[in-house]
Amino acid sequence: MRKLLIFFLLYSNLTFSQQSEKEVLAYQKALNESYLNQETTPLKTDELKDFKGLNFYPYNKKFVVKARLERLKKQAVFKMPTSGKHTPNYKRFGILHFTIDDVNYQLEVYQNIELIKRKGFKKHLFLPFIDETSGNETYGAGRYLDIEIPDGNEIVLDFNKAYHPYCAYTIGYSCPITPDVNFLNTAITAGVKF
């Protein structure tokens, strides 16, 4: 019976890993297609003709982590600094606690006040971060993850879905600037890269 349970757990983890990788590859393909599509790309026509597609690190299951969400109460709305003139209203929603290679990390996660009023975005959370790849292999101002408020206090962070803001590729956008508190003292070699 014990051997059967161990086999089941190993098989479940392998199956989850394969599903997760398949989901990430589909996400990356869709992201590339949106950049290469004339109607959905943030790129200008002259930028698009030289654009060959986004680059990604190989899928790495080490960067799919379970995080504990510490929800914050009664947070004041603030103007998120951006690379442009537009400064949208955000509030701190919580702090995510997780480990990578047995080292503890935490990141603040935010809600865009205007965005959560739109249909389909009520549970949306915005997670900008900077890590040791920033400015070298990835955009210097950081990368983003889009996640949803979980029913409980546990959430899966898949850094394989980390993406650059539009500002990494073109001008004319107001991209949120990652707050200093969201620096990870490690290299997140997952997700989009240059």
* pTM, entire model: 0.89
- C-alpha pair distances (Å), 192 with each of 28, 32, 148, 153: 8, 10, 20, 27
pLDDT at 75: 98
Residue partners of 142: CB distance under 8 A and separation at least 6: 128, 129, 130, 131, 134, 177, 178, 182
- Which 3-state string (H, E, C) describes the chain? CHHHHHHHHHHHHHHHHHHHHHHHHHHHHHHHHHHHCCCCCCCCHHHHHHCCCCEECCCCHHHEEEEEEEECCCCCCEECCECCCCCCEEEEEEEEEEEECCEEEEEEEEEECCHHHCCCCCCEEEEEEECCCECCCECCCCEEEEEECCCCCEEEEEHHHCECCHHHCCCCCCCECCCHHHECCCCCCCCEEC
The overall longest dimension of the chain from CA atoms, in Å, is 64
| Segments making up each domain of the chain, as ranges | 55-193
Residue partners of 26: CB distance under 8 A and separation at least 6: none
Cα 185 to Cα 130: distance, rounded to the nearest angstrom: 9
Residue type, 144: Y
Tokens of 30: 């869709």
pLDDT at 55: 97
pLDDT at 156: 96
The answer to whether the beta carbons of residues 22 and 16 sit under 8 Å apart is: no
Residue type, 50: D
pLDDT at 18: 58
Could you state, in chain order, the average pLDDT of each consecutive group of 10 residues for the chain (194 residues)? 39 50 94 94 93 96 97 97 95 98 98 97 98 97 97 97 96 95 98 97
The answer to whether the beta carbons of residues 175 and 82 sit under 8 Å apart is: yes
